[in-house]
Amino acid sequence: MKNQIVVTILMLFCGASLYAQNSRFSQVFSAPTQMNPSLTGRYDGKIKISSLSSWQTADKGINRNWFKMNHQNISAEIKIGAYRNYGDDENTQDSSKKLLMLPTKSLEEKDVANMSKKNNGYWAVGANYYNYHHETSPLAASFYSVSLARHFYNRSNKFFGFGIQGVYASGNLDETKSVSRYNVEISGGGFGYPFIRNTNDSNKFVRSKNYYDYSVGGYYGMTTEAVMFEIGLAMNHLFYPANNFVYDKVNDPYQKDISRLRHRITADALLRLKFNPKWGIIIKNVLWQDGLYWRSKKQNNNDSLNPVAFWSGVEFYKLNPTSNCNLNFGLYTRSFKTIIPYLNINISNFANLRYSYERPFASKKYTLVIPKRNELALILSIGRNSSPGSKFYRKINFW
């Protein structure tokens, strides 16, 4: 049965990857609330503060016309009330001191055991700021979001959760820059902007736009000593917010499709396997598909501007490290067209530093747009009980 679960998950994502083409972050898993609001609070500890920076370039084939874009994502999350990390806890007990306090009056042992099991989950809230910009790009945008998630543990080895998120987006378009370059593959998205335009002196735009956006998501997982898996699904842009700088006539039936932000679906899967006595293995897969209507297949919208991406990779963790500072590593690919080596440095139970570099396969074959990305993530945790390699086969938090 366990093997069937593993094969099913892998087949699901391998099939989805046939449609993969474009992307944004290389380390999308280092900003999990961007892809699924239910992952707010999915970490070891009480409070988490994280930063993810990305420096991206795209080479336009043989013309050597370089495009650049910088991305920055900052988030803070906190758990509310009594919570359990299940495997990350020092004594695998409730992290709330109130739940650890035993009554002074005599009770039977089974009653005390039942009290410790009453904590069936916890709440978590998060705030996220995301920005992309570059002095050579006509397009820049900022996104401010808050998220709320509820996590459940209905059994000792099963867990699931749901989350919602609200976003305020603010974008600026300035085509009067002396060097004005735009490329959809490294743009952060969120705003509609046709990349093929006649921008002569009399037709250059300087505009701003903002809107509100909403997302929902959920996940389910289970763990045993041999295997742990988690799957999640989220939908973003629930109400098709108007987001286009140029085509803003949302009441025009011929332009309304390209004036609104279409749905995004993200699906994630995490698989932990027992590898050997020294190293543990984590497999992560993420599908990110922008530009979906429920029932529309019209040809007058800019579907090519809606990226679809698939990340797949493996991470190796050193088990039960004896040093306060330990190095782990991994290897990812995006849509099987790029390679992403990945280093993960854990410093005590407080800091986690992650670095990745993305480079395309067969750049001579794919001559249209070739992206390259350097990314650095810093994650600070308060109240974390153990490093990722400790008690590895009992953990459930690997984001």
User: Domain range spanning residue 177?
Assistant: 2-394
Q: Could you tell me the CATH number of the domain that includes residue 99?
A: 2.40.160.40
Q: What is the pLDDT of residue 178?
A: 74
DSSP structural state of residue 305: G
pTM over 0.85: no
Residue 224 maps to a domain: yes
| Alpha-carbon distance values, 11 to 14, 115, 234, 331 (Å) | 5, 41, 20, 20
Q: Sign (positive/negative) of CA torsion 332, 317, 393, 31? A: negative
Residue 156 maps to a domain: yes
For 313-369, write each residue's pLDDT tens digit: 999 999 988 888 999 999 999 888 889 999 999 998 899 999 999 998 765 655 555
Q: What is the pLDDT of residue 337?
A: 84
Q: Is the pLDDT of residue 13 over 60?
A: no
3-class DSSP assignment, residue 174: strand
Instruction: Read off the pLDDT band of 302 (50, 70, 90).
Output: very low
Which amino acid, 227?
V
For 105-158, write each residue's pLDDT tens digit: 444 444 434 444 455 789 999 999 999 999 988 999 999 999 999 999 877 789
Residue 362 maps to a domain: yes
Which residues share a beta bridge with 286?
268, 311
Q: What is the pLDDT of residue 106?
A: 43
Instruction: Read off the pLDDT band of 190 (50, 70, 90).
Output: confident
Compute the mean pLDDT over every residue in the chain, rounded to the nearest whole number. 79
Q: What is the pLDDT of residue 177?
A: 84
Residue 189 maps to a domain: yes
Residue 111 maps to a domain: yes
Q: What is the pLDDT of residue 7?
A: 42
Pair 149, 162: CB distance under 8 Å = yes
Residue 387 maps to a domain: yes
Q: What's the domain count of the chain? A: 1
Q: Is the pLDDT of residue 255 over 90?
A: no
Q: What is the pLDDT of residue 90?
A: 56
Residue 399 maps to a domain: no
Tokens of 319: 């088990």
Higher pLDDT: 377 or 81? It is 377
Instruction: Read off the pLDDT band of 303 (50, 70, 90).
Output: very low
Residue 331 maps to a domain: yes
Higher pLDDT: 307 or 340? It is 340
Q: What angle do CA 204, 210, 212 make, to 5 degrees?
A: 150
| Alpha-carbon distance values, 289 to 9, 105, 257, 280, 296 (Å) | 18, 57, 17, 30, 15
Tokens of 35: 């892809």
